[in-house]
Amino acid sequence: MHIVLLEPLGIPEARVRELAAGLEASGHTFTYYSTRTEEDEELIERSKGAQVLLISNLPLNRRVIEACQSLELISVAFTGVDHVDLAACRERDIRVCNAAGYSTHAVAELAFGLAIAVLRRLVPCDKVTRAEGTKNGLIGYELYGKTFGIVGTGAIGLKTAGIAKAFGCRVLAYSRSQKQEAADSGIEYTDLDTLLQESDIVSLHVPLTGETRQLIDARRLGLMKPGAVLINTARGPVVDNAALAQALHEGKLGGAGIDVYEMEPPVPADHPLVGAPNTVLAPHVAFATHEALDTRAQIVFDNVEKWLTAAPQNVVC
C-alpha cells in the first residue's frame, strides 16, 4: 500500500516518522508532505497512486477524490469530517475514518476557558491593567449556581457537563439521543427551546449536519435569557453568526465565546463577530493542545493499521 500524509499534523516530523515506521516495516510506502496546499491540482498530484490518504482539516472535494483512482481509505485527524465529500467516497466505496475522542479534554477545557473569560471579562481586564487602570466597570459573574446548558451529549458534551457540575452548576442537556450515564450523574435532559430559555450559559457540542446547520438561529437566540452567554467550540455554521452579532450589539445576550466560524481562520476583519461586544474570539484552537495533537496522530495511524487487518475502527462511512 502507498500511504500519503497530505499535510502536517502539528507534531514534530520525527514523531510522524516514528508513527509510520511500523507501516513501512510491513512493506508499505509512506510519503509525508510538510507543507499544506488546498489547490486541487497539487492535491491530485500528491495523492497519485495512493491507496491511503491521511489529512487533518484539509478539504477534499469530489474532484480530488474522483481523481484518486487507487484510493481506498481516508484517515482524518479530526472528529468532524464535513470537509470531506462523503457522498463521493460512498460512491467509490472509499472508507473514511476519523480521530474520535482525541480532543475531548482539550475542547471541554477551552469551553470553560471561554466561558470564564466572558463572565469575568478577562480580556478587558488584561487591557485595562496594562493601561494602569482599575476594576471599575469590570465586575463579572460566577459560574457557581448558574444553569449550564449542553447542546449535544457526545463525549465532549458529557465531559463539559461533568466540569459544569464540578463548578456547582445545574446542568441541562439537549441531544438527539439521551444517555443513561448523563441522567445518572444528575444532568437534566430537556427540549432545545426549554434549554435555551432556562440556561445562563449555553455550550454547543454537536457535529455539522443538515439538521444542525444554523441550529441556533435568530429565533432561538431570541429565546435565550437576557445576559446569557453562548459558547461555540463545535462548528461555526451551527450558529447564525450575523444574528448572534446583532443580539450582542443590541444587548440581548451577555456575551459569547467563539472558537469556530463559517471558514477556517484567518477570520476576515469584517466578520460580524469581530466587532461584537463582550465577545472572546479564538482561532479554532480548542482541539490544539500538545497532548491532543499527539493523540490524534496516533489514532490516525492506528486507523490505517486496523483497516489493513480488516478490523477498521472509527468508521464514518
Query: What are the catalytic residues?
Result: 235, 264, 284
Calpha distance 178→183 (Å, rounded): 8
- Sequence-distant (6+) residues with CB within 8 A of 180 are none
CB-count exposure of residue 88 (10 Å: 0-12, 13-18, 19+):
middle
φ/ψ of residue 116, rounded to 5: -65, -40
Calpha distance 148→103 (Å, rounded): 21
Alpha helix (H) ranges present in the chain?
A: 13-25, 40-46, 62-67, 86-91, 104-119, 122-130, 155-166, 180-184, 192-198, 218-223, 241-249, 290-308
Dihedral, 215, 217, 223, 228 alpha carbons, nearest 10: 90
Q: Which three cell numbers stand for residue 172?
A: 441541562
Closest C-alpha among 226, 213, 218 to residue 245: 218
